[in-house]
Structure 1
């Protein structure tokens, strides 16, 4: 979560990439690993940079002047239990290759924390733009914006149509009790990052516990953080790749739908911070159109989403509180963190409102 970066066909051989080590990536040790994992892959001195955009896991762009790689590793410092699992992220991306869900090709996984200080994996650099801001979309015109945002929903439906067993992911998650565990998990994550009192947090958690649906939607592969700037859009306005799979699992796909809706509603909340405001661009798919498009493309029934929306608000609030915690402890890389903490309580309040409307 953070500033957008355009990877579409730019020549980054100049000052953008440096020969020194970026925070969290020792290039000499990384090169030795990559040469072992992909013999002959590296043809010259490596340069790298942190890609602005990651306020959770760290993403790097690395080049030897000819070839390019994307490297993902957990954040520096405070890491929440069960979060930032590079092995799971690498596994789901690798499994989805060959399906209707566009993903980068994966090259190597390193589970040895002694190489760069944490597990990491290496994948293909895909040309495309992760549209985050309305100002980026507006020059395209309303018709193209509508097409891009509609394809965003179509790809989500395509993900939820994938049979986990058919691609070797039958054991990737535990769908039974998924929603109950989600409520419990995000409470634990909040406790792990708690550094201040948050109005309404205890009440929202208690109400979510009491409102878990007895029967959720048919299980599917869940991305866990699906939104437009976690997609790379190519020059033809097609979705070239879905990225940032760190929270993927098998569970209730309506959690992805609700999270997408909440991201679209964040710009209207008080607090001075929105993960993305792309949805405010003319032509962007509306909430009602999103639900209609998803239902048609997925073939799924959509019940009242109040619980799912409240859970999504709670989840984003906890994630942003974790980022705020790391920022206040000097454990973040880059800029744009100072306003994140102010949106947490408005998110909690919106979650409470969603549950009241649901009931």
Structure 2
């Protein structure tokens, strides 16, 4: 059989057969070609069924960024809540099985809008329905009762923005491969002007966008995926982060290589902002700070991808050349600087 990166077929298959008796061997493992961090596989079984397996990267792993048990706990806690998540099926922390901890979860069928091609059949009405459902899902996430679902101790509740600034600056420093003086200067400026939160700390996804959710046949939200960046923090920061993914047809600088919202049938960013404010009851103050912070943070994340690629990690992601990734980081930093200067 063909080798699959991150899969030790014999011991893993034996473990899966015992842990998931409803999914008989032999198994076919398919690495999903999306995302630049944890590895996601579609596992097909001999009975025609399928489930999903998630594990950390094979190399260049940052422990705090690839905590698989945390993901498993969060989705398990949200089962039955107003936030739809896949069912958690099994957890393994024995590295002898597959080289690292991993978990298995339900495969939720539906649409994942990773690029414009995935939106090809969507009418204006479908795009509006999908957009409204996505926004409503994030509002519901921010309203989750942390005590009721058992996640009140997931993270500290205070100083989220300060913690984020420190976390991402530290991650860049730990994986440093080059000097980025603008990144450091922006960090100082942002840290010196952190706004007061508008609302109480809440559960935040950290990377909420079309690429990380499943939509059903009616273009309604049916599952939220990829919880590795989830924490307790500022809902406004979480929403503005999502807003920055919302590329428009004429945008020359985007966060995704082929953003689905470039389809002109999707609402514009301003409409998305207004819809979130209406549904959440919040009026977003200090929007420029949050936008600049988001572009700076994205630069930090992409710089981390750049550093890991230099060390040989690739995940299952489609990537640009190292030179283009490095240039993208610099353009993101320049955008953050422009926003702050214009504020």
TM-score normalised by structure 1 residue count: 0.88
Q: Which deviations, in whole Å up to 9, do the C-alpha atoms of 1:151-183 show, x marking residues without a partner?
A: 111111111111111111110111211111110
Does structure 2 conserve the Cα–Cα contact (< 8 Å) formed by 1:175 and 1:252? Answer: no
Alignment of 1:270-309 (within 5 A): 274-309=256-291
Q: CA deviation at 1:347?
A: 0.8
SS at match of 1:254: helix
Alignment match, 1:14: none
Alignment of 1:88-237 (within 5 A): 88-198=70-180, 200-237=182-219
Q: CA deviation at 1:273?
A: 6.7
SS at match of 1:59: strand
Quickly say closer, same or farther: Cα 1:245–1:152, change in 2 above 3 A: same
SS at match of 1:32: helix
Alignment of 1:18-37 (within 5 A): 19-37=1-19
Q: CA deviation at 1:346?
A: 1.0
Does structure 1 conserve the Cα–Cα contact (< 8 Å) formed by 2:23 and 2:50? Answer: no
Quickly say closer, same or farther: Cα 1:180–1:216, change in 2 above 3 A: farther
Does structure 2 conserve the Cα–Cα contact (< 8 Å) formed by 1:34 and 1:41? Answer: no
Does structure 1 conserve the Cα–Cα contact (< 8 Å) formed by 2:38 and 2:315? Answer: no
Q: CA deviation at 1:142?
A: 1.8
Alignment of 1:61-80 (within 5 A): 61-66=42-47, 67-80=49-62
Q: Which deviations, in whole Å up to 9, do the C-alpha atoms of 1:263-303 show, x marking residues without a partner?
A: 12498665687355212112212222112211222233321
SS at match of 1:262: helix
RMSD: 2.1
Q: CA deviation at 1:200?
A: 1.3
| 1:356 and 2:341 aligned | yes
Structure 1 Cα separation of the partners of residues 187 and 16 of structure 2: 44
Quickly say closer, same or farther: Cα 1:98–1:132, change in 2 above 3 A: same
SS at match of 2:29: strand
Quickly say closer, same or farther: Cα 1:254–1:70, change in 2 above 3 A: same
Alignment match, 2:236: 254
SS at match of 2:30: strand
Structure 2 Cα separation of the partners of residues 102 and 70 of structure 1: 16
Quickly say closer, same or farther: Cα 1:201–1:270, change in 2 above 3 A: farther
Does structure 1 conserve the Cα–Cα contact (< 8 Å) formed by 2:13 and 2:27? Answer: yes
Does structure 1 conserve the Cα–Cα contact (< 8 Å) formed by 2:6 and 2:58? Answer: yes
Structure 1 residue ranges, 4+ long, deviating more than 4 angstroms after superposition: 265-273
Q: CA deviation at 1:355?
A: 2.5
Does structure 2 conserve the Cα–Cα contact (< 8 Å) formed by 1:263 and 1:275? Answer: no
Quickly say closer, same or farther: Cα 1:276–1:85, change in 2 above 3 A: farther
Structure 2 Cα separation of the partners of residues 240 and 211 of structure 1: 38
| 1:313 and 2:313 aligned | no
Does structure 1 conserve the Cα–Cα contact (< 8 Å) formed by 2:37 and 2:315? Answer: no
Structure 1 Cα separation of the partners of residues 194 and 176 of structure 2: 24
Number of equivalent positions: 339
Quickly say closer, same or farther: Cα 1:315–1:273, change in 2 above 3 A: closer
SS at match of 1:94: helix
Q: CA deviation at 1:117?
A: 1.5
Structure 1 Cα separation of the partners of residues 254 and 159 of structure 2: 35
Q: Which deviations, in whole Å up to 9, do the C-alpha atoms of 1:2-36 show, x marking residues without a partner?
A: xxxxxxxxxxxxxxxxx444111112222232234
Alignment match, 1:54: 35
Structure 1 Cα separation of the partners of residues 163 and 238 of structure 2: 16
Quickly say closer, same or farther: Cα 1:214–1:191, change in 2 above 3 A: same
SS at match of 1:48: strand
Structure 2 Cα separation of the partners of residues 277 and 320 of structure 1: 16
Does structure 1 conserve the Cα–Cα contact (< 8 Å) formed by 2:199 and 2:234? Answer: yes
Does structure 2 conserve the Cα–Cα contact (< 8 Å) formed by 1:324 and 1:337? Answer: no
